[in-house]
């Protein structure tokens, strides 16, 4: 049964003490669905969360499956320290520890044995009982009224748990290999004992504002997080209405404020190319410059969108982001300019036609690219040039409307030169 509650009621299940919460996670690139089995105590089902974690839940996403509740009441509870107001606590001053009375938790106002009041830092206080996680933070409580002993599944969407793939392309004179890791991030203050984990790649929109910022402690805790469990494997399940689903082979613990990294994909490359390239929009001005370093490859399986680091002979030569790509489709990207390969572009007007008023209606151009390489090996040069007009004709290809594209390819020899031309007709008659 989906709860139609206001934003302050649409929250999550967990314990405010920081103990791991057993859950199933369905993790997407920008949010996650957390699913937890819940059982009522009598006719009451209570949900508690620290305020910081509460704030990361997507409004309107709370869903209680399998339980018909008659009411739900949300309330912000005072922080743990408030419960100690008027009670004795311990204050450290230098090497001395004295018993004082906590008067006001909000600003840590105490009264000492001499009856004097002052504000003290929390780090100087100690207590007889074990404090919960973030004892100065309030908690949110959501209480359902349900049939006695009811059991169901509470789910919610959170921006604080996400995942992303991280690719590495290792290239050398012998060829190239592609591999990927999966980074699973938990930006909440709560650890999860994850029983079943599904990862989804693809474009999924949710009705919400901006994504939650990443927790600043994630990267610092990654190593400790990954050392606390036997790492599960990630298996490809298949396609789900345009998304790709992956499952983890075993339960694992996702610590609070952490990033867990797992081996992900090792797709086989069915083709791999290095070349220098250039994209240009037609004009009649002569142009010179340097080409850009390009890579192109195809993989034997679908690739999710993610960051890509390229290494040549073990050395990093650049980083980029690749889009989600279907099996056998081209992945093409540039890593910056290549000063070893220069080009000169020239344009010759071969013919013009005018109407009765003297306006030019049709022009034929010859566009030539001359390449010069100082590399000690041959390199392929590729140029994509776009031209606009009412009707565009490139070489002997059929005319197209509005915009035409010329694609040039030429192999430039080591320490040598090469050129390539095309004829362009712009017909605005």
Lowest mean pLDDT among 53-57, 78-82, 363-367: 53-57
For position 89, what pLDDT does the model report?
A: 95
Confidence (pLDDT) at 216: 39
Rounded Cα distance between 261 and 306, Å, is 14
Higher local confidence (pLDDT), 235 or 15: 235
> Is the pLDDT confidence value at 213 over 60?
no
- The DSSP bridge pattern shows strands 63-65 and 71-77 to be unpaired
**Residue percentage of the chain with pLDDT more than 90:** 67
Q: Residue 151 in contact with residue 43, Cβ under 8 Å? A: no
For residue 137, what pLDDT band results from cuts at 50, 70 and 90?
confident
Give the burial class of 157: count Cβ atoms within 10 A of its Cβ; 0-12 exposed, 13-18 middle, 19 or more buried.
Answer: buried
Residue 103 confidence (pLDDT) above 50 = yes
Residue with tokens 């409004």: 59
Over residues 185-209, the mean pLDDT reads 87
Over range 237-250, report the average pLDDT.
93
Residue 50: strand pairing partners: 139
Question: What is the mean pLDDT of the segment spanning 135-148?
Answer: 85
Average pLDDT, the chain: 88
Backbone angles phi, psi at 291, to 5 degrees: -80, 170
Residue 96 pLDDT > 90: yes
Bridge-based pairing of strands 269-281 and 379-394 is parallel
* Tokens read off for 24: 């199933």
Distance CA 179, CA 94 (A): 55
Higher-confidence position of 356 and 369: 369
Alpha carbon distance 9, 225 (integer Å):
31
* DSSP of 330-354: EEEEEEEEEEEEEEEEEEEEEEEEE
Average pLDDT over residues 223-229: 43
pLDDT above 80: residue 335:
yes
Query: Tell me, what's the pLDDT at 208?
Result: 65
Predicted pLDDT of residue 17: 39
pLDDT of 274-293, one tens digit each?
A: 999 999 999 999 999 999 99
Which band of pLDDT confidence, cut at 50, 70 and 90, is reported for residue 8?
A: very low
pLDDT at 38: 86
pLDDT at 177 over 50: yes
What is the average pLDDT across 401-427?
Answer: 97
pLDDT of residue 134: 78
pLDDT of residue 214: 39
Q: Is residue 21 over pLDDT 70? A: no
Closest to 126 in 3D by CA, of 107, 103, 99, 105: 99
Nearest to 410 by CA among 359, 366, 373, 374: 373
Highest mean pLDDT among 37-46, 56-65, 121-130: 121-130
What pLDDT is stored for residue 3 in this prediction? 43
Q: What is the pLDDT of residues 257-272, one digit of tens each?
A: 999 999 999 999 999 9
Taking residues 299-328, what's their average pLDDT? Answer: 97
Q: pLDDT at position 63, please?
A: 81
Work out the widest C-alpha separation in the chain, in whole angstroms: 106
Hey, which of 63-67, 150-154, 322-326 has the most confident mean pLDDT? 322-326
Pairing of strands 96-104, 88-93: antiparallel
């Amino acid at each position: 049964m989906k709860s139609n509650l206001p934003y302050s009621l649409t929250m999550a299940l967990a314990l405010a003490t920081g103990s791991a919460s057993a859950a199933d996670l369905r993790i997407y690139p920008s949010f996650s669905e957390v699913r937890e089995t819940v059982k009522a105590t009598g006719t009451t089902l209570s949900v508690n969360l620290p305020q910081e974690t509460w704030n990361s839940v997507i409004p309107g996403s709370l869903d209680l499956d399998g339980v018909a509740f008659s009411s739900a009441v949300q309330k912000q509870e005072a922080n743990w320290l408030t419960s100690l107001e008027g009670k004795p606590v311990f204050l450290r001053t230098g090497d001395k520890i004295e018993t004082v009375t906590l008067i006001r938790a909000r600003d840590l106002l105490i009264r000492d044995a001499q009856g004097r009041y002052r504000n003290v830092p929390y780090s100087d206080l100690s207590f007889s009982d074990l404090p919960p996680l973030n004892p100065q933070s309030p908690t949110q409580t959501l209480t359902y009224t349900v049939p006695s002993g009811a059991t169901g599944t509470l789910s919610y969407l959170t921006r604080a748990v996400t995942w992303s793939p991280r690719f590495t392309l290792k290239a050398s004179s012998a060829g190239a290999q592609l591999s990927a890791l999966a980074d699973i991030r938990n930006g909440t203050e709560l650890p999860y004992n994850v029983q079943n984990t599904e990862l989804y790649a693809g474009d999924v929109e949710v009705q919400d504002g901006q994504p939650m910022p990443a927790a600043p402690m994630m990267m610092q805790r990654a190593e400790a997080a990954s050392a606390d469990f036997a790492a599960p494997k990630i298996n490809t399940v298949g396609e789900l209405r345009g998304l790709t689903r992956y499952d983890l082979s075993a339960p694992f613990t996702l610590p609070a404020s952490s990033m867990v990294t797992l081996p992900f994909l090792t797709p086989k490359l069915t083709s791999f190319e290095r070349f220098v390239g250039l994209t240009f929009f037609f004009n009649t001005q002569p142009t010179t410059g340097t080409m850009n370093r390009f890579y192109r490859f195809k993989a034997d399986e679908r690739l999710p969108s993610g960051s890509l680091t390229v290494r040549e002979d073990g050395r990093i030569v650049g980083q980029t982001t690749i889009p989600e790509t279907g099996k056998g489709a081209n992945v093409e990207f540039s890593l910056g300019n290549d000063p070893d390969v220069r080009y000169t572009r020239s344009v010759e007007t071969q013919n013009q036609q005018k109407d009765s008023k003297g306006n030019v209606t049709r022009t034929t151009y010859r566009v030539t690219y001359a390449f010069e390489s100082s590399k000690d090996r041959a390199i392929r040069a590729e140029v994509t040039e776009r031209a606009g007009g009412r009707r565009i004709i490139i070489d002997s290809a059929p005319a197209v409307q509005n915009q035409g594209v010329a694609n040039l390819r030429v192999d430039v020899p080591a320490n040598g030169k090469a050129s390539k031309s095309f004829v362009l007709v712009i017909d605005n008659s």
